Amino acid sequence: MRLAFFQPGGSLMKEKTLFFSIALIGALLLQVPVESLAGVVVEQVVRDKDGIPSKAFLYFSDYRFRTDHQEAGMTTILDFKGDGLLMIDHRSKSYVEVKLSKWEREVAKRLKDEFPGIKPNERKIVVRKTGKTAVINGFQTEQIEVLADDELIEENWVTHDVDMKEIEQVMDRVAHGFSKDFRLELKEGREIYEKLKPYGFPILIKDHAITYGLRAIDRVEVKKIEKKELKDDVFLPPAGYQRIVPEPPKK
């Protein structure tokens, strides 16, 4: 089965949009704290491969996670405990709801079909302190570089102003929340997270791997972190929105 979603008016929500949206969320899940009772709201600026910025709001409460991309008019909600995935299109006032485990299997299968017999290269990951410090958005940070096979791929400006215990709780839930096949695709990202963890929480992440020798792109920048109570309806589609049923499998 291929996950393709029709929106009102006959337009198609492309598979790659779904894939890259959730792939980005997977990366963010490794870097944002959560509190099991109250909840956490994080305001971020996320940049694409061309450096174009967009604002994102992330909401965490126990096993549930929501991300809003305002410019795109899109919301994605993951429920690890309830095995749910929601993709909400606010412009068309519609949404798609599928099982998270089912979506994971689809992505894993698609990757194997598109790259048969090819396994991700395992690179040697090293993190190192540079000694540089800066105050970013009110957080006292220091620079940590990430190298893969001796090539600089990322720099993280990290802080100890955030409770690392909460971050470890998220990592544990992510590690056990995704299916086995899908976790393999996140192996390098998890290794980077584990090696960065002792140094602090990333406030600014600069990506060197996608710029082909040009100036690094500020991929993720944390603007604000707020702890607050989040009601259940934050993790549900808005009232009056139309549910779109995915296409049946193509023979």
Q: What residue spans define the domains of the chain?
A: 5-115+122-243
Q: pLDDT confidence of 118, banded at 50, 70, 90?
A: low
pLDDT at 183: 59
pLDDT above 50: residue 119? yes
pLDDT at 225: 82
Cα–Cα distance for residue pair 251/242, rounded to 1 Å: 27
Q: What is the 3-state secondary structure (H, E, C) of 193-228?
A: HHHHHHHCEEEEEEECCCCCCCCCEEEEEEEEEEEC
Highest mean pLDDT among 168-182, 201-215, 219-233: 219-233
pLDDT at 144: 96
Residue 50, SS3 per DSSP: coil
Name the β-bridge partners of 85.
78, 98
Which of 33-42, 82-91, 107-116, 198-207 bottoms out in mean pLDDT, i.e. has the lowest? 33-42
Across 78-103, b (16+ Cβ under 10 Å) vs e yields: bbbeeebbbbbbbebebbbebebbeb
pTM over 0.75: no
Q: Hey, how many other C-beta atoms are within 10 angstroms of the C-beta on 194?
A: 14
Q: Counting Cβ atoms within 10 Å, is residue 17 exposed (0-12), middle (13-18) or buried (19+)?
A: middle
Mean pLDDT, range 117-129, rounded to an integer: 81
* Residues with Cβ within 8 Å of residue 213, at least 6 apart in sequence: none
CATH code of domain 5-115+122-243: 2.50.20.10
Q: pLDDT confidence of 5, banded at 50, 70, 90?
A: very low
